[in-house]
Chain A
């Protein structure tokens, strides 16, 4: 039954989220095409370039926001409005309903985040490639190890990627992806949990869900910030005495494990709390 649920869930959600994510690809292709031309080489073109960067950033943020909100709305609409009468009377366990929506929601959220990261990387690479075309050595470095051209007076001049970020490029990307993926799953679960908590109320359930979401968001942000800052307190206090690259590499070395572990803890809490609520409490209005 879970397979059938996933099939219908996929069909239903893809109608909106497929075109939305296609939008990111189109935006990226256009952005890369613009960045590889010489139209921004003049000073006069700077305001237009700035506007395009703002447009790109806002569009990408909107696509991510809409994806997440749509995943929440779809969950709420399917299970707790008139459509809930259809889904909750199907001969399937409530946990299967929940898992089908969770898997689809997480897939689209992760895909969206991945596309966003790839889009940013592609634009960065296109800009770097264009800048390096005038400098063959820099171009070679860019193509070999992804190092972007740096100016001679840059604070980071002379340092390798590992010196600055604390990890080799491959490990850094893997850790970044893991952080993003765990963050996506925890975000989806946080929305679902808030909606399920809202259902415990007698009235104004939707407003209560929004309230729970804000409350949980504030608590988790505080918790995550503490988890990331605490190991770095000494580093922050000594930052004046250390080089920028040492500060950054140490920061990334503690930030990634702290972020991934804290997100994993949140995922477990949100998941089991949601499972408990969906098993125990369904009272459709």
Chain B
């Protein structure tokens, strides 16, 4: 079943084209790596899917419907930066998610907080940057969403935290759901990916199964990436 479909998607920032005629289909039950160098258009694509940007032309459909209230209720999105109000307590943020998202599992969220020894009574701004990122990930992964979109979830954290984050992602997503992960750290996530999407200069370069690509090229995805995007 097609979960996400982009047709002829184009986005410009002034005279600069950030995305050009992107045609893309993502089916349920896959983990997809969205890979590309800096400025290739990964975050722009993610923001368009989440309704944070308006396309100049083309369409984005989630479950066959355009971006809107319904699509937002099935997408769980983790931006590449802190987006929560720092003056809120962790508990208040949990309540906030519980109020707005029907698929939010607060038991699961509190369980993860306890495992990480994060006090829910602490204000977000009193936590370290790494802990804040973990709280955001817990919130996003505690939803029983259809599509998880994670923008650079492991960037800027230590290797131990990376393992925890990847473990959290794998152990919490619904098997019928899909995960779209944007990252530069390919070697860290290569083993969990089913598909990869390579984006370069705002254009879709490759969209293929990880196994097919490895078999065809006889190389790891990390090596293929380095060759494709060699400076």
Q: Is the interface of B mostly helix, strand, loop or mixed?
A: loop
Q: Contact size class for A?
A: 20 to 34
Cβ–Cβ contact A83 & B83, under 8 A: yes
B69 at the interface (CB under 8 A from A): yes
Contacts of A86 in B (CB 8 A): 83-85
Cβ–Cβ contact B13 & A89, under 8 A: no
Closest Cβ neighbor of A283 among chain B residues: B53
Cβ–Cβ contact B53 & A284, under 8 A: yes
A82-B83, A86-B84, A89-B77 in contact; A283/B54 too (CB < 8 A)? yes
Cβ–Cβ contact A282 & B83, under 8 A: no
A90 vs B69: C-alpha distance when bound (angstroms): 8
Cβ–Cβ contact B54 & A92, under 8 A: no
B44-69 contacts to A, CB under 8 A, are 47, 50-54, 68-69
CB distance from B108 to the nearest CB of A (A): 19
CB distance from A193 to the nearest CB of B (A): 19
Closest Cβ neighbor of B68 among chain A residues: A93
Cβ–Cβ contact B69 & A12, under 8 A: no
Cβ–Cβ contact B51 & A89, under 8 A: yes
Contacts of B75 in A (CB 8 A): 89
Contacts of B96 in A (CB 8 A): 8
Closest Cβ neighbor of A8 among chain B residues: B96
Cβ–Cβ contact B52 & A84, under 8 A: yes
CB distance from A137 to the nearest CB of B (A): 57
A234 at the interface (CB under 8 A from B): no
Cβ–Cβ contact B69 & A93, under 8 A: yes
A91-B73, A91-B101, A202-B14 in contact; A85/B51 too (CB < 8 A)? no
CB distance from B18 to the nearest CB of A (A): 11
Contacts of B47 in A (CB 8 A): 284
Cβ–Cβ contact B70 & A281, under 8 A: no
Contacts of A7 in B (CB 8 A): 99
Closest 4 CB pairs of A and B: A91-B73, A85-B83, A91-B72, A284-B52
A residues at B contact (CB < 8 Å)? 1, 4, 7-8, 12, 15, 82-86, 88-93, 202, 280-284
